Structure 1
């Protein structure tokens, strides 16, 4: 699968926005802050919605061409779970050792349940609050795998009409099981990513533009508010710039680097960053400096995890899959 630099840029933008939100507005909400409230980066929390659109684009792209449901499932597992377990283990350990009364550490039973990544479905607490977004991702992967297996992925417009109708209905009437199993709270962003793929690579036309407009409508209905309206306008326009090759101007190495480490950065930054900020606030009275130092630290940790754990483990698992497939093919030829 081709790697697009612009997608790394978008991942980097999404990641740094979420980090800034947590270290300003979220930290203030949880612990209090001397950092000026007027500079709180509240809109940074919606970087998650940008991640969802990216996922819709990338996952649909990964299912094009020659692949199997087994390959898809294995690649998604190897991409998500090992890094998640590493980052969750670090967070669990650091929060436990810090023993901060205002940062809740979880018992081993909760840790074990978090290993599944499905803890939110059963109302089990997350080891870190950012894990909430992994449930919509997982259910999207499951639904895409099912549609792929049924051979329905060429019916994108029909899928969009049905799914968006359910989302709009859910925003008005709150359908049962919608939030998780039908992915109705955030599915419009995944669907938009698929439609943007169609525009960029599959010669989509006005039908895709119209359906993207309905994705936007579903987003606004499900997540109302003027601030969100403007944020969603920005996110959708950003993706349009990407689709029509107008985002190269933003392919700066810092953004590409942040995109490269975005998954560990997202998983690690919140509680570990909070622990560090609360400890170092005793020694660094300047809030601007404290936030800057914390960002530098967490980016370094995320890079170390990416460079020396995530990528080697991913490379090993992918090679293991290739070797086993080669061995199975060799046995098949001998029969």
Structure 2
């Protein structure tokens, strides 16, 4: 269905929905004000996006013939939309912390949120690089994107120490691929977006100061256009300039989270169509935010118990899911020597999901939550 709808058609529909919402809001002066710092639906959304990323990875490792640029593969084998939603979420939820705490306290809190679970998963990913290569080479059926995976795994070993040093600091996205091959995906492929997050945290305060110089739409669009132009020039996905425009839009959604300023959202969306299908993430994110205003069905779905559980463990799930996929696949192919493609696909998908859920819940309970509490304890209790 996705490929049959034109971008202009989607754009037109989005504008129509948003304008109708604006008219409705203007007719409802007594509508309740929603606390933008406590939108539970965004937690649920984060959980489902993490699950979407897992789907895109597991179906290709299960040797399902899905192409990320065609048909159903545009959804099931293409995680770029989910990652774009993650970026919008970060731009939105980080804005409050970045504007109410000192830069030092903000960085400490974000570091304790990001690094502990990540470093554990990085260490395991490094330890199983050889195993991962053996699994891919031993898989007897054609696998989509097999050459890409083998390349970044072999490059991880060939340039081991430079890759490891940069990954430990989460700064690998700052190094061009032309300088260090597979810099974005070495060891732990999904960590390309984590270095992106860390780079954003380091400069978020400056972006906030620039943003609050003016609330005028023309100023915001001028900044957005500059960021879009930067993204066209700097195309390495793990480098902040390639996605800073999307972080900025997430921040603008937070900045104008007011029932009388929702009309700005479709304007940001239309301008961002210059980036192609990635802009569709803005539409999805905007619909969730809009639903949160009016107690809509989307809000209730993303606030149900399953969604909130997925949201709670989403970061650990994102970090650990490839480890689960590789280890499960290794046992099935190399140890048990399964020769049924269908059975392999069914077992890999089902078992790796359970494995990922269990490990991420364990990470959340024993690592993430204690580190979050500790960071709050050592940073200033009073906002600046």
Smaller-chain TM-score bracket: 0.7 to 0.9
The one of 7, 12, 15 equivalent to 2:50 is 15
Instruction: Answer yes or no: is 1:69 the counterpart of 2:128.
Output: no
Counterpart position of 1:263: 315
After superposition, the C-alpha distances for 1:160-180 in whole angstroms (9 at most, x for unaligned) are 323211134346xx4469977
Counterpart position of 1:114: 167
Counterpart position of 1:249: 300
After superposition, the C-alpha distances for 1:182-218 in whole angstroms (9 at most, x for unaligned) are x453233322322322343xx3634x533x3343234
- Mapped to 2, the partners of 1:254 and 1:87 lie a distance apart of 24
Q: 1:35 to 1:213 in 2, by over 3 A?
A: closer
| Runs of 5+ unmatched residues, structure 1 | 326-335
The one of 64, 76, 83 equivalent to 1:33 is 64
Q: 1:197 to 1:90 in 2, by over 3 A?
A: same
After superposition, the C-alpha distances for 1:39-67 in whole angstroms (9 at most, x for unaligned) are 651354411111111111111122344x2
Counterpart position of 2:193: 133
After superposition, the C-alpha distances for 1:291-327 in whole angstroms (9 at most, x for unaligned) are 011111111111111111222233233323459x9xx
| Runs of 5+ unmatched residues, structure 2 | 1-35, 137-149
Q: 1:2 to 1:177 in 2, by over 3 A?
A: closer
Counterpart position of 1:316: 374
Q: Where do residues 115-194 of structure 1 align in structure 2 (5 Å cutoff)?
A: 115-122=168-175, 123=177, 124=180, 125=183, 126-148=186-208, 150=209, 153=212, 155-157=214-216, 160-170=220-230, 174-175=232-233, 183-194=240-251
RMSD (Å) for aligned C-alpha atoms: 3.4
Q: 1:192 to 1:322 in 2, by over 3 A?
A: closer
Residues 191 and 319 of structure 2 are in contact (CA less than 8 Å); yes or no, is this contact kept in structure 1? Answer: yes
More off after superposition, 104-113 vs 50-59 = 104-113
- Mapped to 2, the partners of 1:58 and 1:304 lie a distance apart of 24
- Mapped to 1, the partners of 2:300 and 2:284 lie a distance apart of 17
Counterpart position of 1:332: none
Residues 83 and 264 of structure 1 are in contact (CA less than 8 Å); yes or no, is this contact kept in structure 2? Answer: yes
What is the Cα deviation at residue 263 of structure 1?
0.9
Residues 82 and 313 of structure 1 are in contact (CA less than 8 Å); yes or no, is this contact kept in structure 2? Answer: yes
Q: 1:160 to 1:138 in 2, by over 3 A?
A: farther
The one of 282, 290, 298 equivalent to 1:240 is 290
| Number of matched pairs | 308
What is the Cα deviation at residue 242 of structure 1?
3.0
Q: TM-score with structure 1 length normalisation?
A: 0.78
Counterpart position of 1:294: 352
- Mapped to 2, the partners of 1:98 and 1:139 lie a distance apart of 28
The one of 93, 101, 105 equivalent to 2:127 is 93
Counterpart position of 1:331: none
